Structures are given as structure tokens and as C-alpha cells.
Amino acid sequence: MSTAEVSDEDFQEILAQTRHFVRSVVLPREQDILAEDKVPDDLREQAAKMGLFGYAIPQEWGGLGLNLAQDVEMAMELGYTSLALRSMFGTNNGIAGQVLVGFGTDEQKAQWLERLATGEVASFALTEPGAGSNPSGLRTKAVRDGADWIINGDKRFITNAPIADLFVVFARSRPADDNGPGIAVFLVPADAPGVQVGVKDAKMGQEGAWTADVNFTDVRVPAAALVGGSEDIGYRAAMTSLARGRVHIAALAVGIAQRALDESVSYAATATQGGKPVGSFQLVQAMLADQQTGVLAGRALVRDTAQRWLSGEDRRIAPSAAKLFCTEMAGRVADLAVQVHGGSGYMREVPVERIYRDVRLLRLYEGTSEIQRLIIGGNLMKGASA
């Protein structure tokens, strides 16, 4: 089992500080984030000072060193406010940063991890127009040229691309064959010649969390940019990082579902209909009960899944099951929150309206719900035939 670098006592202090930051500092400014489509600079600076840009990066490389069981507790707190806050440093601690942590050479870790832990941003450049949840369809290519590599290709929906300092780029270095899928992963500075970031996407929700297309045209990187020094690492690095990230996203979904529930209870207790609190009506109470049940089940599943990951017992089925259940649950809870609020829940200045839009993405990124079902079912059948 993975040994925690941070004691329970110290972690509880970190968690309490994060909870205070989220609920007392960020939450009152959610409308600013929504209106400006940006996390204010002072909030970003405060998050960096707190170590949030590297909370899951090992202490050896400048991070806080939280393990996955601690990570999910953080995610449930961070999910309580605008998801743009967590998105700002989520790729550092998750899918991009964990590629470096798990598969990078010591030289690569020394070059980048401390910079990420102190506020620079890494983006995970995997998704393409024709390859999303299944990276085997990658068309971006990396070709050797002497001691260097030249990368050409287009990436889509890349989180934090407009503010990235580093792109963790997945590219096909050879055709797939019996030796593997032929996918390598490279560390490409955002200011490298030939890297072009498109305009930020106009999205349904998660205002302040920026995504964009990224184009790589004859981008030359040295051999030292090949993660792990091996062409064969890319696919495994992507799958491992995504599986771990799914546990985190599941926890994030629990956090935002808890917020939707709390907003629903508060509204039901104070809003009146016919001179009575709407929460006195049994049909409203039934909706609250369904919300609470989903949140409790999701929280228990996330914590159990994190422990299974740390012990090595299950790093395939459980992460996908947690992401599938918790993100679908968050969607149902958000929908019920709007229903509890009635017409008010459809108004832009009411938190549950934003939550309703924000949670929709959770079922899409880092593997759609359909992909999670295929992973779960496929692994169950593999186990049955083993």
C-alpha cells in the first residue's frame, strides 16, 4: 500500500485550510468568475501560495505529497465551488502531472515538477478531432530527426491550453504492432516554435475553465523530451493517468453534488408557497432524500475506490465504476436541485443554474460514461475467462 507522505494530523489542517478558502474566499466570488469567464488573478496567486498547484506532486519535487485517498478528500472540498478553480490546477495534480510523477526520468521531474508545484501549468494533450476517450486512434505523429523528434498534429479540447507552460503531448511514433500501440509521450514547452494555441472554446458551462485547440507544426524537441526515455511508455502512461484521474473526477462530482443538495435544502427551508416552506411538502422532501442518498453513496464509493487504488487491489474496474456512478449521480442531483428551486432554479444568478450546466461535462471528459461501461464490462469478462 502507498505510504502517505503527509500525516493524518497535517492533512486535516491542509483540508481545513482548503475548505476555508473554498467556502469563505472563492464561493462569494463565483459570480465574478461566471461573468468574467476567468478565475481572478488574486485567487490564482492565493491557490499557488497554499500549494494547491502541486498538492498531489511528491514532496521530493516541491509538492505537498498527498496520496490518492487524501486527493479525493481535497477534490470533494474543491468541488463545492466553481469547478473552474479546481480546473486551473487540476491538470498539474492529475492527468498531466501524474504522467511525469509516474513515468518521467529524474531529470524530467527535476526540470518540471517543482515549477508546476509553485504555479506553472501543465496541459494533457491527448484528445484529437478523431481520438477522444480511445487514444489508439491518435493521428499526431512524432518522427525522429537525428537526436531530435519532430511533432506534427492537432489536439482538441485541451484543458488549460491558453495558460499552459508545458504540454504533455501524446503522439504516434510508429504504427501499432504486436509490440504495442506505438504511442509515445513528449514534454513540449508551450513557447516552443511551431506550437499554436487556438482561441479559447465557448462552452456550455464551467466558465473560467479554459480549453482550446492546440496545433503542433514541425515542433522540434530533443531526445530528453521523450517521457521516460522510451517510445513504449505513452499508451500505458495515458491509461494509468486517466484511471487515477477518474477517481479524482468522481470525488469532484460528489463535492458539487453536495453543494447542489445544500442549496436545495436551504431554499426548501426558506422559500414559501401558500404561506408554507416548500420543504414542508412531501414531494419536495422526496427529492431532497434522493439527492442525499446519491451523495452519501458517491462519497462512500469514492473513498473505497481510492483505498483500492492505493493497495493495488483494483486500478481498472473500480475507478471507472466510481466515475460512472458519481458523475451520473451529480447530474441527477443537479437536475433535482433546479426542480426544487422551481422557476428560480432557471435564473442565471442562482447557483444551481450554474451547477446544472457545470456538471454536464463530468460525464464527458477523462472518458465518457459509455467508455466507463465498456471498461467495466470488458474487464469483468476478462476476469471470467482467465
- Give the residue numbers marked as catalytic: 366
Work out the end-to-end distance of the chain between its first and last CA atoms, rounded to an integer number of angstroms. Answer: 25
Owner of C-alpha cell 487504488: 309
Q: Are the C-beta atoms of 6 and 65 separated by less than 8 Å?
A: yes
- Secondary structure of 315-350 as H, E, C letters: CCHHHHHHHHHHHHHHHHHHHHHHHHHHHHHHCCCC
**Integer CA distances (angstroms), 335 to 3, 85, 287, 332, 350, in order:** 39, 22, 10, 5, 14
Measure the CA–CA gap between 264 and 370, rounded to whole angstroms. Answer: 29
Looking at residue 199, the DSSP 8-state letter turns out to be P
Q: What string of DSSP letters covers 118-170? A: TT--EEEE--BTTBSS-GGG---EEEEETTEEEEEEEEEEEETGGG-SEEEEE
Measure the CA–CA gap between 180 and 186, rounded to whole angstroms. Answer: 17
Task: Enumerate residues 6+ apart whose C-beta is below 8 A from 290.
Answer: 332, 333, 336
Q: What string of DSSP letters covers 265-307? A: HHHHHH-EETTEEGGGSHHHHHHHHHHHHHHHHHHHHHHHHHH
Residue type, 106: D
Q: Are the C-beta atoms of 319 and 305 separated by less than 8 Å?
A: yes
